[in-house]
Amino acid sequence: MKGVVWPLIATMAIQALVSMAVFAPPVIAPAAHDDIGFPASWVGIVTALTFAAATVGALFSGGVIARVGALRMSQLSLLLCGSGIALIASSNAWLVALGALVMGLGYGPVTPSSSAILADRTPERIRSFIFSLKQTGVPIGGALAGAIVPTLIVAFGWRTSALSVGLACVALAAAIQPYRAVVDLAPHVDRPKRPASLLEPLRLVLAHPRLREMAFASCTYSGMQACLSTFLVVYLTQRVGFSVPVAGAVLATAMTAGIIGRISWGVVADNGVRPRALLGILGVTMSVGAFLTATFTGTWPIAAVFAVSFAYGATAIGWNGVYLSEVARIAPPGKAGAATGASLAMTYAGVVALPTLFWLIVILGNSYAAAFAAAGGLTLWRGSYFFRFDGQAPPDSP
């Protein structure tokens, strides 16, 4: 255990800061929209651009890691995310779009890099637990964005808050440099090899009925997660009437619940509840969370808003660990890595598609309630497959 402590802390810190950068635009949107010249709801386009680029970054990360090392790739990710959020701070619409793309290119390789760092350093008996802890870096970053960025906005303005997040990414990239000799340059390190074909892992997943079912579920579940993190603050400030600090606290609560969920659901799945059934339960519950969020008004008790957001976040953000372990379990022998990588690409695709659909509903129908309800309908649809086909292979139709 001792040998994995530093790599775990480092990878969690890296994941948390790049996630904080990615989650910062939705938090600053209510304060920045006048300067940028677009409604705050257009932050959904920023999220879509970010994760479109993240899909590309994830697919190409293996070759870069093989050439420069996983920790160097992590440093590059931090620098790209820091640069991207700095471009967004310019308030020029074109540079905001470019910043979203740059952030996505940095965000995509973070999970493959951290997995490569931990793979050879984690004892088999605690591998699932360690990887689950590592994945909590994402909601930790979201919680930091919800808790810290609004305070910086009130004190210094939205541009300074964005630049502060960028500087934190750069500082961490510099801080981990002394450890590169241990991680990337050690003679015993076996670095990942470049895959023969970038499309081969996708073919594997789409040809396998259970993996295909899981991939389509992750597409909607991740999209729901993105809608929650992208639009909740804007919705609460512009339609429900909350202040930015209070709305940020609600988001931080949802993200904190996601941290708890990512660990707790993994323990539940390891102790008697079948992962497929649990994924179905989580899909239904996150749908209920979206439906209830759609009914928020200024007359709702603030405690009830926090309670719904906690349950919503625990499911919509907490499902990932159970999903990844199930993908690895049902993948063909020797193909767990390829299946996980391709599934991650499908996951990012959902983060592009569903927030874009959400944004279109808001723009065309002027209704956040309808958008949250539509997102809930999609996750309810895909989650029902885990009950319908639990115990047998699903049919070939997606």
- Position 137 scores a pLDDT of 86
**Cα–Cα dist 250/278, whole Å:** 25
Q: Which domains does the chain have, with CATH numbers?
A: 1-194 (1.20.1250.20), 199-391 (1.20.1250.20)
- Position 376 scores a pLDDT of 97
Q: Worst-scoring range by mean pLDDT, 135-144, 199-208, 315-324?
A: 199-208
What's the token pair of residue 22? Answer: 């990615």
Mean of the pLDDT values across residues 41-60?
82
**Cα–Cα dist 95/36, whole Å:** 10
Start-to-end CA span in the chain (Å): 42
Question: Identity (one letter) of the amino acid at 44?
Answer: G
DSSP H or E stretch at residue 277: helix 275-293
DSSP H or E stretch at residue 387: helix 368-388
**Cα–Cα dist 159/53, whole Å:** 23
**Cα–Cα dist 45/49, whole Å:** 6
**Cα–Cα dist 159/163, whole Å:** 6
- Position 340 scores a pLDDT of 65
Give the chain's mean pLDDT.
84
Estimate to the nearest angstrom the gap between the alpha carbon of 361 and the chain centroid: 22
How does residue 191 score in pLDDT terms, banded at 50, 70 and 90? very low
What is the tens place of the pLDDT at every residue in 361-376?
Answer: 999 998 999 999 999 9
Is 93 a residue whose pLDDT tops 60? yes
| Among candidate residues 53, 339, 55, the one with its CA nearest the CA of residue 214 | 339
**Cα–Cα dist 372/368, whole Å:** 6
What is the reported pTM? 0.74
Is 194 a residue whose pLDDT tops 60? no
